[in-house]
Amino acid sequence: MNKKWWEKSIVYQIYPKSFYDSDNDGIGDLKGIISKLDYLKDLGIDVIWLSPVYKSPMADNGYDVSDYYDIEKQFGSMEDMNALIEEGKKRNIKIIMDLVINHTSDEHAWFIESKASKDSPKRDYYIWRDPKEDGSQPNNWESIFGGSAWKYDEVSNQYYLHVFAEKQPDLNWENPKVRKDLYQMINYWLDKGIGGFRVDAITYIKKGNDFKDLKPNGKEKLVHVNGACLNQEGIEEFLAELKENTFAKYDILTVAEAPGVPKEKLSRYAGKDGFFDLLFEFEHVDLDINADGKWYKPRKWTILDFKSAIKKSQEVYNEIGFGALYLENHDQPRSLNKFIKEEDISLVSAKMLAVTYFFLKGIPFIYQGQEIGMTNVKYESIEDYDDIASIGQYKDALSEGYSKEEALAALHRRSRDNARTPMQWDNSENAGFTKGKPWLKVNPNYKDINVEANLKNENSLLNFYKNLIRLRKFSKYTDVIVYGKYIKFLEEHGDVFGYIREYNGKQILILSNFTDKNIQLKLDYNVREVIISNYENIDLNNKNIELKAYEAVVLELV
Ligand code: GLC
């Protein structure tokens, strides 16, 4: 079997705006990242996924690109980007960039030209449609950030489609010239020597339903765009062509943000013969969200639902080899708040969560701050929020009759800004992130939760993550952790997350107690040794084990 360079890798995601500010303008930047590379090297990571740093008006913090060939001034220059790639190389850290090609910014030259007139050669680079007879939007699709997915343009009396924000017009992938221009740009970056791409929102590039109205659900006039733009028939031809013209020619890592891919199709999307190497799936992180995507109407879920989501994808990864393992990213709230009751968030429960996902089959992704246990922020006012999705949800909630308090509570739980507060480096003002005024308020808990404190404490979460990484990469368990098969265990248990990994006769068992109660378990196995745990003493007596509150333990079986 052909081994890939990334098989034993650990990926660390950086949200540049919030990582480290080197010039004290309150915004993180590329030089700031370079200055923290040694910290990341010491943590043990191999790959950095950099959220977008291309030129952008920052309506969606860089996910609205106005020039793919330039770097956003707030973040630095192309020289800084080249330096980051080089400095990374010196430390054996590859940089993978975010590839945002479902849409551009409305300030991209292509869109400006497209909008200029109906006859513009670039008109068909985007998706324009006539109004309905009464002048209203071409159809009832609702954008992901709220409101109609169509924006009216007075000059041409047409509407353009935006699956995300108004300032993110969707590219017209049906136009071969668009695809060719995108491939050229992708290869430009790959030729520079980056390690690959995280591919943004890629399952939206094909639009379907013949641009007709979606069936209304309930009394709402608009219907979530997913029904017409997510994973539509015909998308696979685009993805195959994309790979052939770009990724396939390089020895890189590609990981696609791919909500909505049916499980039976996953092997077509990822793995050796897939369109990408890895996929980000969403079921396990979006258990608390309904199909209409409204955060203020939370969905109830249990640990059994979480287990079942993980199991389904692990079984696919058994077939295709690898998947992307993650609990957090820049679009999700902090995992501690999502998976642990607020009153039980602690060093022990944070370590338990880390163990739970770190031994699964796949490549672990760590989101900045996760390694020190950063948590959600509770801003008192909507004024403190920046995230375009949060502001949309807040407005929606109010218009649906929710109170301000209820709308804010939904943001405390779900806002993407929870993950975007500045990285907490130390206990000095602004958490050591900047000497200026941070673009987003720091989480006041930085005095206790910060990198410096974690580095000093041998027992800290950060040091625990280092141990997990070492076990995965450089131990006698490396092969079983990286290549082992996932085997379900205690599938029906409502409180304990368990699974086995097996490789060449070696078996390890992972057990995590998701409650604050002691739980007795009888194992059908003999234990050879305890590989790691978040408690000092393990209560193991023959085949009986007692898991203490939020205990996680990894055992080698005989
Ligand atoms: C992806 C990104 C998210 C962004 C959206 C539109 O979901 O992760 O941050 O807002 O795409 O580009």
Does ligand 1 come within 6 angstroms of the Cβ of 59? no
> Is residue 363 within 8 Å of 6, Cβ to Cβ?
yes
Nearest atom in ligand 1 to the alpha carbon of residue 63 is: 12
* Ramachandran class of 16: left when φ > 0, alpha when ψ lies in -120 to 50, beta otherwise: alpha
User: What value does the mean pLDDT of the chain take?
Assistant: 97
Q: How many Å apart are CA 101 and CA 184, to the nearest integer?
A: 12
Q: 200 CA to middle of ligand 1, Å?
A: 6
Work out whether strand 552-557 and strand 527-533 pair parallel, antiparallel, or are unpaired: antiparallel
Q: What is the pTM of this model?
A: 0.98
Average pLDDT of 210-236?
Answer: 92
- 437-452 pLDDT per residue, tens: 999 999 999 999 999 9
Q: How confident is the model at residue 384 (pLDDT cuts 50, 70, 90)?
A: very high
Whether 436 shows a pLDDT value over 70: the answer reads yes
From ligand 1's centre to the CA of 150, what distance in Å? 18
Binding site membership of 387 for ligand 1 (Cβ less than 6 Å) = no
Is the CB–ligand 1 distance for residue 145 below 6 Å?
A: no
Query: What confidence tier does 291 reach under pLDDT thresholds 50, 70, 90?
Result: confident
Alpha helices in 321-459 (DSSP H): 335-339, 347-358, 388-399, 404-414, 451-456
> What residues are labeled active site?
200, 257
Ligand 1 atom at minimum distance from 330 CA: 9
Element (H, E) at 494: none
Reported as type and span, the H/E element at residue 466 is helix 461-473
Any atom of ligand 1 within 6 Å of the Cβ of 164 = yes
Per-residue pLDDT band for 167 (boundaries 50, 70, 90) equals very high
**Predicted confidence band of residue 243 (pLDDT cuts 50, 70, 90):** very high
Of 190, 361, 202, residue with least CA distance to 274:
202
Q: What percent of the chain has pLDDT over 70?
A: 100
Question: Alpha-carbon distance 242 to 101, whole Å?
Answer: 11
| pLDDT score recorded for residue 539 | 80
Distance of CA 391 to the CA centre of its chain: 20
With the most atoms of ligand 1 within 8 angstroms of its CB, the residue from 15, 164, 415 to mutate is 164
- Name the strand (E) or helix (H) holding 211: none
pLDDT at 219 over 70: no
- Residue 263's pLDDT is 83
Q: What is the pLDDT of residues 366-382, one digit of tens each?
A: 999 999 999 999 999 99
Ligand 1 centre to CA of 201 (Å) is: 6
Residue 493 pLDDT > 70: yes
Least confident of 134-148, 206-220, 470-484: 206-220
Q: What are residue 198's DSSP bridge partners?
A: 98, 255
The protein residue with its alpha carbon nearest to ligand 1, atom 6, reads 63
Query: pLDDT tens digits, residue range 100-116?
Result: 999 999 999 999 999 99
Which of 17, 58, 63 to mutate for ligand 1's pocket (most ligand atoms within 8 Å of CB)? Answer: 63
Q: Residue 1 has what pLDDT?
A: 58
Q: Is the CB of 125 inside a 6 Å radius of any atom of ligand 1?
A: no
DSSP 519: E
CA within 13 Å, CB half, 516: 8
How far apart are alpha carbons 46 and 472 in whole angstroms?
12
Give the residue-averaged pLDDT of 175-184.
98
How many whole angstroms separate alpha carbon 331 and alpha carbon 145? 12
Q: pLDDT grade, residue 148 (50/70/90)?
A: very high
Cβ 396 under 6 angstroms from ligand 1: no
Q: Residue 339 corresponds to which tokens in the numbers above? A: 């998976």
* pLDDT greater than 80 at residue 208: yes
Tell which residue, 294, 314, 321, has the closest CA to residue 394.
294
Query: Which residues fall within 8 angstroms of residue 211, CB to CB, at 6 or more apart?
Result: 129, 138, 139, 228
- What is the pLDDT, as a whole number, of residue 541? 82
Neighbouring-strand partners of residue 65: none
- Residue nearest to ligand 1 atom 7, measured at CA: 201
Q: Do residues 105 and 114 lie in contact, with contact meaning Cβ atoms separated by under 8 Å? A: no
253: confidence class by pLDDT, cuts 50, 70, 90: very high
Residue-wise pLDDT tens digits, 21-79? 999 999 999 999 999 999 999 999 999 999 999 999 999 999 999 999 999 999 999 99
Q: Which of 260, 245, 205, 246 is nearest to 229 (CA)?
A: 205
pLDDT at 318 over 80: yes
Short-list 164, 59, 169, 64, CA closest to 115: 169
Instruction: Report the DSSP beta bridge partners of residue 94.
Output: 47
